[in-house]
Chain A
């Protein structure tokens, strides 16, 4: 047993070095903009850059829209599948897992072809409708996590009793859904929201192929043209990711319906 513990420490140490080194190096590199001293000048440059502000705002707004509309799409579906239409469960599950099986680049290729300016539904012909299309593609990216988090959340509350209680008090279905079911799913919804934000904020492939001014393509542009700012941006994105996942861990502690436990 002694030998086994020694081996465990060794494995742990090697992996710690592998995972910590890039983070430390990136941070160190991001401080090197001014010759001969460490400074936060690269961060200042990033925050002052109007394109940073614009693209970051764009991606934040888009991810908020993704979270709101994704939740509105998923909650009623999961609710009715669980309560009234259990036969549909396999179909719905299959569809929500599709985005994990079909690579994002394939889906966006399909969108570009189907919704081009000469089609029946020309979503790529104006910038506002392309924004909508990008929002929809982000909902597909988030769908697997959202659906599982919300479905698990629904299973941990007694949907049937809650619904019957609300009905016997005279509630109609909109007030059941928004007044009774949604508040009970707070934890599931908030954790899937943060995971969605962490995924969407730096997303590159879809935003770039739909040619939208999002944060992901901006990152790539800076990477190709600057030396130290990319490291500062990597540190910033890492802190955002870490922050989002930290919130999820705190919320999900000891409760069912946390995303990290149910998504995989």
Chain B
């Protein structure tokens, strides 16, 4: 899985730069810039430029037009749907969980346990997570078997399968929910006690406080984090590949096959798909950053 953009670090204390040994400083940062150009900037540029070229290197818009063939549109659409549902689901459940853990009046030991687990769970993604869900809700999984032996309920007769759309979302939630908790708890901590007290003194109840104070302050952070979860699910490959093979036509899975063996028989169409993915992840990350800046003004 891909983890996420972070908040911007506050500007460092300004240090008066002595003019003399500046060459060492430039020499010191040079390897980093060489590395970044070779392994971040050039590869991305190569794909973006390739998306606008034909096989002979001439400028063309045909690759982008070719994106609109039904198979590719369908795979973008199913990826967007899965990412969106898992992001919104993860955000809502993560919000409830963060609220319950931080402000829900539970014993003090709950919070550190919740935070520690939320730090670990997003790293338990990819192939092992797929294995865990197969062992749980696969055709021979323990929960599937228990449902049958205890309740006589045949889960797989309902059309459910862990290797399909909803199964994948269920697995994605395993890293989306803790990620939401991890990002949201600091925001909940930022709700000042005085605001609640002020609301109470003015005769407001819990609903009034949330409707008129907390949600208006938190919503940029809620929406922003949801977008982040969306981008996180959108770029994921390993969990889906481990769980469904190529059973679900995700755009990342399609690209995976394309890189391995040019299944589209068109290199430049592969570049155009990459460009489409980059546009989607860049837009959601930009929106996250803008919304995040809005929240900061209150805190």
Contacts and interface: CB of A to CB of B under 8 A. Distances in A.
Interface string B62-97: 000000000000000000000000000000010011
Contacts of A241: 120, 123-124
Nearest to B96: A11
A202 B124 CA distance: 10
Contact of A113 (B15, B46, B93, B278): B46
Given A25-B143, A82-B12, A220-B242, A114 B46 contact: yes
Nearest to A195: B123
A213 to B, nearest CB: 15
Contacts of B259: 105, 108-109, 112, 209
A85 B23 CA distance: 11
Instruction: Tell me whether chain A's interface is mostly helix, strand or loop, or mixed.
Output: helix
B50 A113 contact: yes
B47 A95 contact: no
A249 B116 CA distance: 8
Interface residues of B, number: 94
Interface string A182-218: 0000000000000100110011110001000000100
B5 A100 contact: yes
A230 B256 contact: no
Interface stretch (A33-41, A55-63, A135-143): A135-143
Contact of A8 (B26, B29, B104): B104
Contacts of A195: 123
Given A83-B15, A83-B25, A173-B24, A220 B241 contact: yes
Nearest to A70: B35
B155 interface: no
**Most chain A CB neighbours (cut-off 10 Å) among B11, B35, B131, B136:** B131
Contacts, number: 287
B123 A198 contact: yes
B271 to A, nearest CB: 8
Contact of B17 (A84, A114, A199, A203): A84
Contact of A95 (B40, B252, B277): B40
Instruction: Tell me whether chain B's interface is mostly helix, strand or loop, or mixed.
Output: helix
Interface in B116-136: 116-117, 119-121, 123-124, 126-136
B135 A99 contact: no
A76 to B, nearest CB: 4
B32 A73 contact: yes
Interface in A9-35: 9, 11-12, 15, 18-19, 21-26, 28-30
Given A102-B44, A114-B43, A144-B6, 14 more contacts: A7-B100, A19-B174, A98-B44, A103-B235, A103-B278, A109-B43, A111-B43, A113-B46, A114-B42, A145-B3, A203-B126, A204-B237, A242-B120, A245-B116
29 contacts: A9-B100, A11-B97, A12-B106, A22-B132, A29-B142, A73-B35, A77-B29, A83-B25, A84-B15, A86-B14, A88-B29, A101-B282, A102-B40, A103-B252, A109-B270, A110-B43, A113-B43, A113-B46, A173-B21, A195-B123, A204-B126, A205-B256, A216-B238, A219-B131, A220-B127, A241-B120, A241-B123, A264-B179, A264-B182
Closest 4 CB pairs of A and B: A110-B43, A8-B104, A103-B235, A8-B100
